[in-house]
Amino acid sequence: MSLELFRLKRDIPFMRWARSTIFFSVALIIGSVVLLATRGLNLGVDFTGGTVMEIGYPGAADIPAIRAHLAKNGYGDAQVQTFGRASDVLIRLPVKPGVTSAQLSERVIVVLRAQVPQAELRRVEFVGPQVGRELFEDGSLALLVVSIGIVIYLALRFEWRFAVGAIFATAHDIFIVLGVWSAFQWEFSLTVLAAILAVLGYSVNDTVVVFDRIRENFRKTRMTDVAAIMDNAKTATLSRTVITSGTTLMVVLAILFFGGEVLWGFAMALAIGIVVGTYSSVLVASPIVLWLGVSREDFIKPPRPESGAVV
Amino acid sequence: MNRYPLWKYVVIALALAIGLIYTLPNFYGEVPAVQVAPVRTTQKVDSTLLERVEQALAQVGLKPTGITQDERSIKLRFADTDTQIKAKDVLQQALGQGYTVALNLLSASPQWLASIGALPMYLGLDLRGGVHFLLQVDMPRALERAAERYQGDIRTLLREKKIRYAHLTRERDVVTLRFREAAARDEARQAIARAYPELELREGASGEEFLLTVTLSKAAQVKVQENALQQNLLTLRNRVNELGVAEPVIQQQGVDRVVVQLPGVQDTAKAKEILGRTATLEIRMVDEEAMQDPARVQAAVASGQVPFGDELYYERNGQPILVKKSVVLTGEYITDAQAGFDQNNQPAVHINLDGRGARIFKNVTRENVGRRMAILLIEKGKTEVVTAPVIREEIGGGRVQITGMDSTEEARDVALLLRAGALAAPMEIVEERTVGPSLGRDNIEKGFNATLYGFAAVAVFMVIYYRFFGLISILALATNLCLLVALLSMLQATLTLPGIAGIALTLGMAIDANVLIAERIREELRNGMSPQAAIAAGYERAWDTILDANITTLIAGIALFWLGSGPVRGFAVVLCLGILTSMFSAVMVSRAMVNLTYGRAKRLTKVSI
């Protein structure tokens, strides 16, 4: 006999818990929004503009000494922290009017080498304030475009109520990831934004699988209780939902643990997004579709043959 | 029902074969190489150059392990980095300034792979190390300079036509003419409109005076900006050539930006210095009259009372010098500049001017023998008088010698600056990403490990959970990885660290299709379907879902590609391509394997799933 995670005789009554799961989700969203409004995001240089330097030291770096040394040389506004391992140091410098970036990082490394001659400049990232603003705008635009694109696709392929449900569930995931980022004040960089867009795609993907089964059930069964139809669909796809999330999570955790510091934020955003996305695709998306009043008739209208979807 | 027609197997086999071949170059690694190319892009590489290169190396007993030659360059492979660096130094000395000699890494894959275009993936700067700059061209300044030119041209025109005007002034990119009489203004207006149709003229009045304001038309402005960008691109290209970088990328981005990527550049400070040099050159006359009166010079230094029409600058030795505001020549007229020596064996710079520049220069020098002209270098709003030589005689033919250089080094620097051409408008670095070579290697290793461990974990789980179907899924996943890498290699898309993360992520998500199929087959089996029918139904019913689910991710990927930049774009490329390859491998390839295993069994009673 084969190995099975869920061997279920009866459908799980997910819809009966809808009230509490939605309440829980809405509470999380509100919490995230409050966090975002009060603490905001710790935007990285990609968006604010500024300079980041990664310096490799021969041994464990003495952070307070580096900080003091920089302050003594007129860089009191530099943030210094270790990066990944004890010998790597990350230095952040805000945009200085009048001083070009090119000069800034060169000057700082000269200062640092006066203290420890073997200091190695591993990486420099400078983003001008103008470019930073553009990256932020482009990123926000990307988020919006993707959301609209997905709504249109789902509205065409399924039904508008499903599109609304999916986008709500997805927005829920993104708000929570952003909320976590705000709560811990982790740096929000361009790669984190990329991860969030991937979460968007992934979360909708998960939701679509469930929706697909709901639609199939609508067409196949004579059941009229929409909630029961949804429960059946979700129970049938539960194994798949959990396994896929599990395998994707395995890979993401591999990136988180072995991918290095640069990818840490990317992997963390994905990991949170996958967990929340799995939850929302099962417990958040379909109750909304139900409350919006979807019914069997929406899918068995005469001019809609099996393959009549517009793609 | 679980049989594929022969053509499907053929298509799959073909795809796999092509995938394998194009993945292959990525396994060979890279060998150190030296790349030799003429500085001037018009100059082709020929066999005499190859001979010179071989001779120079043979003289010091260095032997390259392989030589390839194309129209633009000669590439020499070496056994190790020590010989590579030695060879570079030897060649640089032997070939001199006309050639760039750059260190490079070349794929170690055999010749036949390269000849069918199978190259390893193109690594982004975060993986191979190097510098990325985004430069912004100062367009208002470009317009201002265009207006400056027109101001001079209009002055000459009015003088030629003997039209009298009271004042000719310029405020940023607006030139204003003041006349005492309306008739003179109308005359001027007609003359200017005829000579420069691209200018927009507007009449006005101010008290007693009749005004004529001159601005560039919208079309002309666009043209000025385009030209400025093109000239700056060219200038950057020349400068980068001087740097000796193997595969530089210099591209326009948007209307007023330039991307410069210099892979493998170690000395980033030098690169920045040369690129960031927003120098422009101007040749102007020294105000000799004022200079002869030490009191006036003193007054200018002490209180800033600069004589009308002059500006105060300092020479390299710290001497104050009064220079006229009107510009004789700009760097645009310079076609070539070489470092050398003058008659007294002192370092000097030899300049060639183009036809128009030569004419202007001839006139100016004829009229000003015995006077001094100043060569000004303007960097980031700071103006320095490089040298202010005395004009000894009329200089025709456009050949100019500048003496008074401190050292051969300085002569070379000035020559490079002049040769590389002045920028049409200043540029500023608005984004910079530098990755050291050691970090690049670290990144590759980490990215590779993450992918490997992720893949292994998924493989172990799938085989335990789905047994034979799990094994097939993993084989399909491996196919997917191979096809994805092959596609990335074929397209020479840039692989970045987020791109590698994208590969790993794609693998995690690609398995979804197999899970969907396997779960569906199990379900159909539970519902009492026969194994063969269950397999067929599983694949068919799962297809719709797979398609829907992947298209939504594809939408996200495309938007990311469209709006992302740099590393994020690399991630988006991988995500999109990965979705396409995963649909093929998870559905077609795994089905083919299942069909080959179970399809022929007459009475299948059990499926390992």
Domain CATH number, residue A279: 1.20.1640.10
Which domain does A98 fall in, by range?
A: 50-127
Which domain does B336 fall in, by range?
A: 279-422
Cα A1 to Cα A308, B466, B521, distances in angstroms? 39, 11, 14
pLDDT of residue B420: 57
**Which residue type is seen at A88?**
D
Is B436 within 8 Å of chain A by CB? yes
Taking contacts as CB-CB distances below 8 angstroms, the residues of chain A near B438 are 56, 120, 122
Taking contacts as CB-CB distances below 8 angstroms, the residues of chain B near A131 are 134, 430-431
Sign of CA dihedral A96, A102, A105, A107: negative
Same domain, A84 and A208: no
Q: Would you call B504 and A202 a contact, using CB atoms and an 8 Å cutoff? A: no
Q: Would you call B501 and A267 a contact, using CB atoms and an 8 Å cutoff? A: yes
Rounded to whole angstroms, the Cα distance separating B534 from B542 reads 12
Same domain, A229 and A119: no
Which of B257, B540, B548 is the best substitution to test chain A (most A C-beta atoms within 10 A)?
B548
Nearest chain B Cα distance for residue A243, angstroms:
7
Which of B258, B432, B546, B606 is the best substitution to test chain A (most A C-beta atoms within 10 A)?
B432
Task: Say if residues B307 and B290 touch (Cβ distance below 8 Å).
Answer: yes
Q: Which two tokens stand for residue B71?
A: 């129209």
Domain count, chain B: 4
For A3, which of B449, B451, B464 is closest by C-beta distance? B464
Is B586 within 8 Å of chain A by CB? no
Taking contacts as CB-CB distances below 8 angstroms, the residues of chain A near B255 are none
Rounded to whole angstroms, the Cα distance separating A65 from A39 reads 30
Is B333 within 8 Å of chain A by CB? no
Q: Would you call A243 and B465 a contact, using CB atoms and an 8 Å cutoff? A: yes
Rounded to whole angstroms, the Cα distance separating A174 from A32 reads 10
Confidence of residue A308 (pLDDT cuts 50, 70, 90): very low
Residue among B423, B36, B42 nearest B234 (CA): B423
> Which residues lie closer than 8 Å to B565 by C-beta, 6 or more apart?
A135, A138, A190
pLDDT of residue B71: 78
Residue among B32, B90, B35 nearest B61 (CA): B90
Cα A267 to Cα A262, A271, B9, B15, B189, distances in angstroms? 10, 6, 38, 32, 67
Rounded to whole angstroms, the Cα distance separating B492 from B277 reads 32
Domain endpoint, select from A103, A127, A151: A127
Same domain, A18 and A61: no
Predicted confidence (pLDDT) at residue A206 exceeds the cutoff of 80:
yes
Which of A134, A138, A262 is the best substitution to test chain B (most B C-beta atoms within 10 A)?
A262
pLDDT of residue A309: 44
For A251, which of B435, B467, B508 is closest by C-beta distance? B508
Rounded to whole angstroms, the Cα distance separating A275 from A180 reads 13
Looking at residue A9, the DSSP 8-state letter turns out to be S
Distance of CA B305 to the CA centre of its chain: 45
Rounded to whole angstroms, the Cα distance separating A272 from A184 reads 13
For B457, which of A128, A240, A250 is closest by C-beta distance? A250
Rounded to whole angstroms, the Cα distance separating A117 from B28 reads 36
Domain count, chain A: 2
Rounded to whole angstroms, the Cα distance separating A129 from A82 reads 25
- Give the nearest chain A residue to B127 (CA atoms): A123
Interaxial angle between packed helices A226-258 and A264-283, expressed in degrees from 0 to 180 and rounded to the nearest 10? 170
Residue among A180, A189, A184, A201 nearest A265 (CA): A189
Q: Would you call A208 and B552 a contact, using CB atoms and an 8 Å cutoff? A: yes
Averages of pLDDT over runs of 10 residues in chain B (609 residues) are 87 93 87 81 75 88 85 85 85 78 82 85 86 88 81 82 88 89 90 89 87 91 85 78 77 89 76 67 85 81 81 81 86 74 84 79 88 78 76 81 76 67 73 84 90 93 92 94 93 87 86 90 90 91 86 84 76 90 90 88 78
- Among residues 351-390 of chain B, which lie with CB inside 8 Å of chain A? 380
Taking contacts as CB-CB distances below 8 angstroms, the residues of chain B near A250 are 454, 457-458, 461, 508
Task: Say if residues A76 and A92 touch (Cβ distance below 8 Å).
Answer: no
Same domain, A78 and A174: no
Taking contacts as CB-CB distances below 8 angstroms, the residues of chain A near B609 are 2
Q: Would you call A142 and B559 a contact, using CB atoms and an 8 Å cutoff? A: yes
Same domain, B496 and B544: yes
Rounded to whole angstroms, the Cα distance separating B164 from B186 reads 11
Q: Which two tokens stand for residue A248?
A: 């994707």
Taking contacts as CB-CB distances below 8 angstroms, the residues of chain A near B563 are 138-139, 141-142, 145
Same domain, B418 and B452: no
Count of CB pairs separated by less than 8 Å, A with B: 241
Q: Would you call B428 and A100 a contact, using CB atoms and an 8 Å cutoff? A: yes
pTM of the predicted model over 0.90 = no
pLDDT of residue B461: 93
In a domain, A309, yes or no: no
> For A244-248, A300-304, B595-599, which range has the lowest pLDDT when averaged over its residues?
A300-304
The enclosing domain of B171 has a CATH number of 3.30.1360.100
Same domain, B334 and B444: no
In a domain, A311, yes or no: no
Domain endpoint, select from A65, A92, A127: A127
**Which residue type is seen at A75?**
Y
pLDDT digit string (tens) for A92-131? 988 877 666 667 888 888 899 998 898 888 888 888 888 8
Taking contacts as CB-CB distances below 8 angstroms, the residues of chain B near A122 are 435-436, 438-439
Looking at residue B588, the DSSP 8-state letter turns out to be I
Same domain, B76 and B47: yes
pLDDT of residue A311: 41
> Which residues lie closer than 8 Å to A291 by C-beta, 6 or more apart?
none
In a domain, B154, yes or no: yes
In a domain, B253, yes or no: no
Domain endpoint, select from A100, A127, A154: A127
Nearest chain A Cα distance for residue B438, angstroms:
7
Which of A240, A252, A274 is the best substitution to test chain B (most B C-beta atoms within 10 A)?
A240
Token look-up 């159909």 returns B524
Q: Would you call B431 and A100 a contact, using CB atoms and an 8 Å cutoff? A: no
Is B270 within 8 Å of chain A by CB? no
Question: Which ipTM value was assigned to this complex?
Answer: 0.86
Looking at residue B389, the DSSP 8-state letter turns out to be P
Distance of CA B145 to the CA centre of its chain: 25
pLDDT digit string (tens) for A28-76? 999 999 999 999 999 988 888 889 999 999 888 889 999 999 999 888 8
